[in-house]
Each structure stands twice: as structure tokens, then as C-alpha cells.
Amino acid sequence: MTDRKFVCAITGEPLMRIIVIAVGRLKQGPERELAETYRKRTRAMGRALGVREIEIVEIRESRAQDAERRRVEESIAIANVIPERATVVILDERGESLDSAALASQLRGWRAEDRPAVCFIIGAADGLAASLYQRAKLKLAFGTATWPHQLVRIMLLEQLYRAASIVAGHPYHRV
């Protein structure tokens, strides 16, 4: 079965999916509510970025006793949900720090490459297998601090909304 292409009805440009793949679940409460708020805002403004959908995929944390085994099991589960030809971005404190405008530019560039999806991967405390790092087009950091993965998800979703607002010329992002 071939990938079905989605294009903008106005511009004819390809539309892509943004998929946030996170190890672990956000429990009911303010964190989940805030994450959902930014996801909905991004989806509503996504046309400007060429985004047809923003999805959250939660991967169950491995219960293996050994850290390496946990990394491998979680990474296999993540790899199984990455669409073919998707751009892979790993959130990692050792990654590159991009300002909001640069992230918006990256997203526009990936859309222009006719990528069907961009997958942002948030690993658990033990990290990810080397095979996922090798697939990554970008390793992205939100500074050099180590953040809980629940907060990283919220910060990522806010930055995706901000990127969409930059592209749309919306006043949310003020320079």
C-alpha cells in the first residue's frame, strides 16, 4: 500500500503529520491539560506550517531490570511507530539548542522536502538505543539542564505552537 499524500487545498503544498513519541504517560492533571492545550492550538494553526495532524503516541515504559534492556525494548517500540520516510528528531540535553524561529524554519524545510511526518522522540530516564540516534536528523535540546520527560513534552508542544504562530505571522511570538 502506498502512502496517501495530503496537500493543502489552497497552496497545493504537501501536508505532514507531527508525531510526538514519548516513553511514559502523562497522568490526568494539570500537565496533561497543558499539553493538550498546546496540541490543540498547534493543530488549529497547523495549516500555516503545512501540518495536517499533531499526534501523541505514548510508549509503555519497559519493566526490564537492566538499563540497557530497557533502552532496547523502548527503542524497538518507538521504531515500530515511526512512519516510513519520516524525519526523526530526538530530544536530548546534549543536542542542539535552536531558537523558536530556527525550529519553525526546520519544520518548513522538512515540509518542503515532502516528508510525510516529523517524529519528535522523548525517551525515558535511561535514554534511547544507539540505533535511534543514528536515524535522527536532529538532536534537539531545551538547554543543558536535564528536564523531566513530562515537562519536555509540554515545552516541545509549546514550541511547536510557537513555530506555527511564527510561520502564520500570529502575534503569539513576539521578538
130 CB neighbour count, 10 Å cutoff: 11
Confidence (pLDDT) at 4: 53
Confidence (pLDDT) at 146: 85
CB 106 within 8 A of CB 138: yes
Q: How many CA atoms lie within 13 A of 38 on its CB side?
A: 22
Who's near 143: CB < 8 A, 6+ residues apart?
93, 97
Confidence (pLDDT) at 70: 95
pLDDT in tens, the chain (175 residues): 344 555 555 455 567 899 999 999 998 999 999 999 999 999 888 777 788 889 999 999 999 999 999 999 999 999 999 999 999 999 998 999 999 999 999 998 998 888 899 999 999 988 999 999 999 999 999 998 888 888 999 999 999 999 988 888 877 766 5
Confidence (pLDDT) at 174: 64
